[in-house]
Structures are given as C-alpha cells and as structure tokens.
Amino acid sequence: MSTIEITQDNHDELVKDGIVLIDVWASWCGPCKAFGPIFEEASDVHTDIKFGKINSDEQQELSADYGIRSIPTLIIYKDGEPVYSKPGAIPRMELERLIEEAKKLDVKA
C-alpha cells in the first residue's frame, strides 16, 4: 500500500479506524529524507495498516494542531485514539517494533 497525503480535510476520516501511522515531514528536511524510504517500505509490507504523510509546509494548520516543533515526527493512531507521537527519524527495526506494539494494543479497555 502506498502512503496517503493527509490534509486538514481528510485527517479525521483517515484516523478513525484501525492503525494509522503518520509521518510529519518537509521536503527540505534531511532526517525526513532519510526516514521517508523506511516509512514507504513499511507501508508496502504492512498492507493492513494505513500510512499517511503530512507535509508540514503545506499543512501548517494541521501541524500546529499537533504541536509539531521538530520533524520528522511519527504519530500512531489506533481506532481513533493517538497512542504514540515522537519526533526524530527512527531505524527500520524500531518502526517494526512500534507497529507490532500498536497491533497488540487494546485502546478499548
């Protein structure tokens, strides 16, 4: 599955069900360029999860809603609830670990 461009208009609908990983990024950001291919590869492997990207330059209001101060920032939702948010590029294995944790998480408890 490829990544979805997340905007102010489609954000709420995209995050309401299942697991959603969001990469907040910008084209000029070196660490974003390093993390981007890792994020894209994970989207190809985990086709049961939605992967979205927020361009912080183009979606300034949405980035402000999240309180983004540093990019890239990874945000994870499960069934409409934000369960993870942390800035910084992460290695492939750490992303896989976070995905597995999100799959096990019960947000309805």
Q: Catalytic residue numbers?
A: 29, 32
Q: CB–CB of 54/23 below 8 Å?
A: yes
Helix or strand (DSSP H, E) at 39: helix 30-45
3-state secondary structure of 85: strand
Using alpha carbons, list the distances in angstroms from residue 106 to 22, 35, 79. 19, 27, 9
